[in-house]
Amino acid sequence: MQIMESRQSELEWAMAGLNATGEPLVQKTGAVLGPAGFGDDIGTYLYIPYLARWLQIDLNMAVDVFYYGLCFAAFAVSLTYVFLCFNDSSRRLIALGVGLYALKVCFAGVRPHTDVYLINFCAPLLLLPLVLWVLRPGVNKTEGLTAVLLIIAPLIAFIDFARSNSAAPVTIFTLVALAQRAGVPWRRRFRDIAIFMFALGFGVMATTALIVHRDRYLNSVDRSYHPVVTSHPLWHSIYIGLAYLPNNYGIPQYSDSVASAFVRTVDPAAGYLSPRYESILRDEVVRIAMIDPMFMLKTLYAKFSQIVSDTKASLILFVFGLLGGIRDPDRRGFDVGLVLALGAAMAPGLLVWPAIPYYLGVRGVCVIAALIGVVRVLSFGLPGQEKLFNKVKDHGLRHSLELRMSIRRRLFTLARQVSIRMPEGYGTNSVH
């Protein structure tokens, strides 16, 4: 699998650091030790080197195993969900067919854009089916829910550790689905949400503990070491994203150097991506929004149009998922959750830049919507389907009756013609 050259180099340094020190997230360049990766998305510098070490394979093979394995697991979990939702083979085949078609349509736009961005697409497919399974129509709404929440919440943290906010659609959908469950007392809903948030916090603390441990180790071997920023540079990205449309605010292009140059004009001492650095860019973005709100709205609309244009085939599947739940009594929680999850998946493209890798999560959410839609249709049917089926049935009966009458008339006419053309005495016994 092709990944960025810079990321490939950093993975090699992280692998060298792991082999030299045995410590996670430590890289070695020459004889110098330092923190693996740069900024956010550092989880891959933990998972892939350890995968190579445990399986005793080279780093390139570990990259393939990690990303292709993630795709395989996501596809398998999502298709297993729709398969297990039904007991009869006919509905299972229909559900699997729709699921495979949705995966084909959406993955066609994902395949050219690999690297760490692939996690955005896979995260909803890997985690949401577990939530949908315990909240599927016609079952006890609390059956196995606590166990599932304790499983997926830490997984959300570990996936976000590899790609920042890639599992945000999963978090939002889960919270909305838990809060909007029909027929469940509010006390139970709040309890389940609290369990989910506690498990999510546990996962975040586990990843944070790894970074703290890494920093302590590096500080022990080099007293001059200072911890690096590992959070996502939100305002840095939003600021340079304003270059999407021509503007008069000194943002000519989408480039990190544009933001750093502006910060230096305000405070030359502000470190790159430091809290002071981010606060300067936040104030500038807010200032532009206050003095020229139309520019901000036009920029958002232009980005939104580009995203819709790129994902229109996938969005059709999303609409199918919403319309398929018209007869679902619990549709409100799922529909609101799907819409908000789609918004969360679009957010990187809207706030930063509408580059396809940034919003691959849109396609993942659309696949989940299609799976929800087919399960709803096969479970509850469509509005007016009884009338349609009766009409088709009546039409079929009338057509069958007319066909039988037509065949009888043709046979009767043929019999008359044959009897008229019979020679006299034909068919009687003759003695010679």
Place of tokens 């297990």: 84
Which domain, by its residues, includes 205?
Answer: 5-227+297-380
Does 79 fall in a domain? yes
Using only the alpha carbons of the chain, give its radius of gyration. 31
C-alpha closest to that of 116 among 44, 186, 61, 58: 44
Does 126 fall in a domain? yes
Question: Burial level of 189, CB count in 10 A (0-12/13-18/19+)?
Answer: middle
Give backbone dihedrals phi and psi of 397, rounded to 5 degrees, phi first: -65, -45
HSE (side-chain half, CA atoms, 13 Å) at 151? 12
Does 221 fall in a domain? yes
Check if the beta carbon of residue 42 is closer than 8 Å to that of residue 52: no
Dist. CA 214–CA 232, nearest whole Å: 19
pTM of the model: 0.85
C-alpha closest to that of 367 among 61, 78, 68, 64: 78
33-91 residue pLDDT tens: 999 987 668 999 999 999 999 999 999 999 999 999 999 999 999 999 999 988 889 98
Does 256 fall in a domain? no
Check if the beta carbon of residue 127 is closer than 8 Å to that of residue 170: yes
**Packed helices 118-134 and 331-351: angle between N→C axes, nearest 10 degrees:** 170
- Three-class DSSP category at 199: helix
The stretch 342-353 carries a mean pLDDT of 95
Dist. CA 16–CA 27, nearest whole Å: 6
Residue 400 confidence (pLDDT):
62
Check if the beta carbon of residue 356 is closer than 8 Å to that of residue 307: no
Check if the beta carbon of residue 124 is closer than 8 Å to that of residue 341: yes
**What length is written for the chain?**
432
Check if the beta carbon of residue 27 is closer than 8 Å to that of residue 214: no
Check if the beta carbon of residue 375 is closer than 8 Å to that of residue 95: yes
Does 129 fall in a domain? yes
Check if the beta carbon of residue 353 is closer than 8 Å to that of residue 406: no
262-319 residue pLDDT tens: 999 999 999 888 889 999 999 999 999 999 999 999 999 999 999 999 999 999 999 9
Q: State which H helix or E strand residue 267 sits in.
A: none
The stretch 133-161 carries a mean pLDDT of 81
Per the structure, how many domains does the chain have?
1
Structure tokens at 277: 């650095």
pLDDT of 23 strictly over 90 = yes
Under the banding of pLDDT at 50, 70 and 90, the label for residue 379 is: confident
Check if the beta carbon of residue 156 is closer than 8 Å to that of residue 167: yes
Does 266 fall in a domain? no
Does 100 fall in a domain? yes
Does 284 fall in a domain? no
